[in-house]
Structure 1
């Protein structure tokens, strides 16, 4: 998917906060969660995301989607990764407002 189509999709789905994230080559983050739902378009590089026993690798043009409070681990490719992410607060939980 291209950037413009992705931004339009995020707006249609109610994602109001857009952020570009860059991560270092061959880096990663141990298992963690976010207090928001995230949908991201990979712009450059590669990211591997592990959720439970499921592992997925995403490259340019791919989209990943994580729910609020979903435990996951991230690993970045040899060129790092840069992605555009839409964040949406969990509307079901007052603790996340």
Structure 2
């Protein structure tokens, strides 16, 4: 999915807050966020583990995390940059 289509689709779903996040290689232990998040990977890669399964996301991929969903994040060797919508 491209950036314009992503933003347009999420605005139609009622998302109004969009933030570009950049992370260096590394990881975050299990944590939650008090908001729902949908993100589009712009560069690099991110591994997200939730509900006992890990999935890898690369440029053009999108992911969705429900509010308060426990998960871990691991960033690829080149880090990751993604556009995230929150509500």
> Could you state the TM-score of these two structures normalised by the residue count of structure 1?
0.88
1:56 corresponds to: 55
Gaps of 5+ in 2: none
2:19 corresponds to: 19
1:43 corresponds to: 42
Kindly provide the CA deviation profile for residues 28-61 of structure 1, in whole angstroms up to 9, marking residues without a partner as x: 1100000000000000000000002111000000
Hey, what's the Cα distance between the residues in 1 that align with 2:65 and 2:12? Answer: 17
Alpha-carbon deviation of 1:86?
Answer: 0.1
How do 1:1-97 residues align onto structure 2 when only pairs under 5 Å count?
Answer: 1-25=1-25, 27-88=26-87
> Could you state the TM-score of these two structures normalised by the residue count of structure 2?
0.98
Hey, what's the Cα distance between the residues in 2 that align with 1:74 and 1:35? Answer: 16
Moved more, 77-86 or 49-58: 49-58
SS at match of 1:68: coil
